[in-house]
Amino acid sequence: MIRTLLIANRGEVAVRICRTCRDLGIATVAVYSDADAESPHARAADEAVRIGPAPAAESYLNIPAILDATQRSGADAVHPGFGFLAENAAFAQAVIDAGLTWVGPTPAAIAAMGDKRRAKRLLRDIPVVPGYSGEDQSDAALAMAADEIGVPLLVKAAAGGGGKGMRRVDDLADFASALRGARREAERAFGDGTLILERYVAQPRHVEIQILGDRHGAVIALGERECSIQRRHQKIIEETPSPAVDDALRARMSAAAVSIGQQLGYVSAGTVEFLLDADGQFYFIEMNTRLQVEHPVTELVYGVDLVAIQLQIAEGAALGDLLPRVERRGHAVEARIYAEDPANDFLPSTGSVQRWTAPTGAGIRVDSGIETGGEVTVHYDPMIAKIIAHAPTRAEALRRLDHALGETVLLGLRHNIAFLRRVLRHPEFAAGAFDTDFLARQPVLSMPASDPPLHAVIGAALRCADLGTERFRNNPYRPQRQTLRHGDRSFEVLIDRAGGGAFRVTLDGAARIARWSGENRLTLDGHTRRVEIVRSGTALWTQIDSEVLALEWIDPLPAGQAVRESAGSLRAPMPGQIIKVEAEIGQFVLKGTILLVMEAMKMEHRISAPYDGTVTAIHFNQGQTVQQGVTLIDLQASNPS
């Protein structure tokens, strides 16, 4: 019996594992870096052990420090969560060698499936995507294989997943560049630059099968998860059952997944991922030998706790006793909340969580590792929470999830909540008619309205008037002017008292009567809307209809002051490190030319020219760390000489 479990992870998955352990009566131990000393996961556990200083990501990869934490705490078992060391065979073996219970598959299974090349050669009678997974990793050998496969094709990291170390090639002229970028990213993310090539399957769906295996040789499948809504090859909305899978196809895919588990002698929870083409043919792409981020949809539909089952399997329980009968009930959909800017190519966002309010209600589950006052840093993956809805039908589940996202408040950084709601409401998504290229075909979903809502601007101006000055109390009959900026636009709002707690506000020559009802209800001329506002210095984070606006308070704006940023500057979209400079001073570049490459949150981000011009200055070199908003390159708009 497991008495004390050390969770070798952080964030929402660590909090979620603590929740199950509490139900089972298992004591928990969290590990934390200095950056996470006051984080929710460190407080959710019964004990917490420091394993390293900031920068923090490396701390959770420090195997000796984690094993030392098991000794200091007296833990007798380790659960790796997902990410970090969850699919590290050496870590699993080290835990076992230390005499501890490893809550996961065998090190041999992890190693076999962790190398995509080895996995495809190992498995028998499993359909795979045609491609190259040879030992020769020279540029020449890979280029020759790419020529044989043809385009479009995918260059993929053999040791990884989650879109890291992956490039799509549509023209063989771009293959060499894609090869260099994928190898470089794979080496940083996984410590292994080995690559494979795969034929790109046009407009596929990404469907995965959840399997479970026990120590007695039994392997079962718990249905499929639809994971086709992706950006940057990373999932953002998952659901079960898939609208594209009928009972016959489900049986065939489940049989293939179970066969893989049996061939591996698989133990614990695992997920077999497939591409599904329009003709109903499926191809094995990889196996994740861990708990998946999207496991809650399976738990809600099948009425199980996958973490509890993992723990019980590790203790030696048989699946036949744990799951004598499992039935599918209804439909579940999960939305991942990312700290990122959908309108800016989904670049990650960092900052302080000024306000976090999670939704509640029937059929709603929230898994998160954030709280008001916490920090979202550049050191970790930008996924910060998940909201899951369960209902009798898919249409009801989508409606519940949309409403729950509308109730969610997250202020202090940019995020994707409004974008998720636009996806859920799209007719093609609602009809189940989508594939992995859906978001690429719908770029408009990433873009918010060009003008901020009137309620947001006036609400922010009133907050400045109430909180920013004493003038209303000192000069109660004298109007005041508040100036706000949003992007390139400035707004001047004239505010005067109208009696009875109301205000007369004038914007763009139009006067309106405004009144606050409570903390977050603003009425303009009889129209009341919910407006969430948090002020931090001159920044006003405003959320309305799930859209987040970063308004800047400028009070007053000196006459004639320019509010438009110089058109010849390129600024860092997030904190990160410069890993490659492609441009040279004096070089003329066309719009779209890659000027430099940054790394942040384990992903590469290419900074390209927004217009034709001449590079007049380069402010940072390869290897330097930059902060968000700093000017990277000066680009003077001009014509080639």
Q: Which CATH superfamily is domain 206-446 in?
A: ATP-grasp fold, B domain (3.30.470.20)
Q: Quick: pLDDT tens for 430-462.
A: 999 999 999 999 999 999 877 899 999 999 999
Contacts of 341 (CB under 8 A, 6+ apart): 347, 349, 414, 573
Summarize pLDDT for 146-177 with one digit per residue, the tens.
999 999 999 999 887 667 889 999 999 999 99
Q: Is 294 helix (H, G, I), strand (E, B) or coil?
A: coil
Q: Do domains 4-103 and 569-636 have the same CATH topology?
A: no
pLDDT at 26 over 70: yes
Q: Name the fold adopted by 454-553.
A: Glycoprotein, Type 4 Pilin (3.30.700)
Task: Please tell me the distance from the alpha carbon of residue 484 to that of residue 508, in angstroms, as a whole number.
Answer: 13
Kindly state the tokens that stand for 514. Answer: 């405004």
Q: What is the CATH number of domain 569-636?
A: 2.40.50.100
Q: What is the pLDDT of residue 641?
A: 45
Q: How many CA atoms lie within 13 A of 398 on its CB side?
A: 19
Per 3-state DSSP, the chain is made up of helix, strand and coil in percentages (nearest 5) of 30, 35, 35
pLDDT band at 53 (very low <50, low <70, confident <90, very high): confident
Q: pLDDT of 389-398, one tens digit each?
A: 999 999 999 9
Give the CATH number of domain 4-103: 3.40.50.20
Q: What percent of the chain has pLDDT over 70?
A: 93
Q: Which pLDDT belongs to residue 602?
A: 61
pLDDT classification of 22: cutoffs 50, 70, 90? very high
The class (CATH top level) of 130-199 is alpha beta
pLDDT tens digits, 359-368:
999 999 999 9
Domain locations in the chain as residue ranges: 4-103, 130-199, 206-446, 454-553, 569-636
Query: What's the mean per-residue pLDDT of the chain?
Result: 90
Point out the least confidently predicted range of 2-6, 145-149, 440-444, 607-611: 607-611
Q: 478: which DSSP letter?
A: S
Give the pLDDT band (50/70/90) at residue 514.
very high
CB contact at 8 A, 463 and 538: no
